[in-house]
Amino acid sequence: MSDRLLTKRWRLILLPVVALVAVGSWFLFFGTKDVFRTAVPLDVSAYITGANSLRGNTYKLEGEVTALLAWSPSGRLVSFGVEGSNRAIPLLFSSEFDSVNIQKGQRLKVLVLVEDKGVLHAKKLAKL
């Protein structure tokens, strides 16, 4: 009886540990390769009513470049049509992305930081 009880106890302890090890291993193996997996999609409806509550946060966005709004040596400002929303929002790509072609019609996955004054500053991007 006591052996049975011990076995059951070990099983109850080991299973979460194994599961934990498995999850940790998965994060260790996959999490470092796809940062977008950890980012939360931007709540567009919340953003357009005001970015105060979102400021300082990082979100991910997927969608299509609809227009180049402004360009300067320090970066590019584009209009970005967010997937799953019928709205376009502005995205700022700083000069670090100068080597990347960003043009109208491109579909991108972008990690953005909500900066001061609610400007969405792209931190990472991936073409879809």
Partner 1 sequence: MRPLALFFFLMVGAIAQANDAGGSLPALPGFDPGVEVATWNGRSWNISDNRIFQARFERYLSTPSDINQDTTEHFKILSRIRELLAPSKVSLQSREEAFRLLEEASDYAADDMLSDAISNQVFSAWLAQKDATLLQSATATLEAERKRLEWNLRIVAGTEGLGTPVAGNVAGQPQAPPNSRRALEMQQITARLAEVNILLKSNLLKKEVSQAQAKTDFQILIVQLFLQRRFQHVLIATRFYRSIFADGTSQQIKFGEEAQNLFTKTTGHAPTLTSLDSLCGELISNAHDGVNAFKALLAEREMARAAKRLSEAFVIGEYLTPLDVVPISEKRQALVFIQKSNQLLSALDVKDYILAEKLVNDLQAAAKDFDASKANAAIQAAKTASALHLAKARNAADSGDKAALETELEAAAAIWPTNPALAEVAAGIYSRGNVNARALVEFEQLVGQRGWRQIYNERMRFIPAVANAPEKQAKLQEIIDNIIMIDRTVARAQDLERRGDPAGAWEITEVVYRQFPEEYPRLNKQHDQLTLQAADYVEAVSTAESLEAAGELGSSLSWFLQAQTIYPSGELAKAGMQRLGHLILPDSW
Kindly list the residues in this chain that would bind partner 1 in the complex (CB under 8 A). 47-52, 69-77, 79, 87-90, 92, 114, 117-120
Q: Of the two residues 25 and 95, which places its CB atom closer to partner 1 in the complex?
A: 95
CB of 67 vs partner 1, minimal distance in Å:
8
Amino acid at 119: V
Q: Of the two residues 60 and 76, which places its CB atom closer to partner 1 in the complex?
A: 76
- Residue 120 structure tokens: 């969405």
Element (H, E) at 127: strand 120-127
CB of 79 vs partner 1, minimal distance in Å:
5
d(Cα 62, Cα 53) in Å, to the nearest integer?
Answer: 21
CB of 59 vs partner 1, minimal distance in Å:
12
Q: Of the two residues 34 and 43, which places its CB atom closer to partner 1 in the complex?
A: 43
Residues 6+ apart with CB under 8 A from 22: none
Helices (H), the chain: 2-26, 44-49
CB of 37 vs partner 1, minimal distance in Å:
25
- Residue 96 structure tokens: 């670090």
User: Tokens 């059951």 identify what position?
Assistant: 8
Q: Of the two residues 39 and 120, which places its CB atom closer to partner 1 in the complex?
A: 120
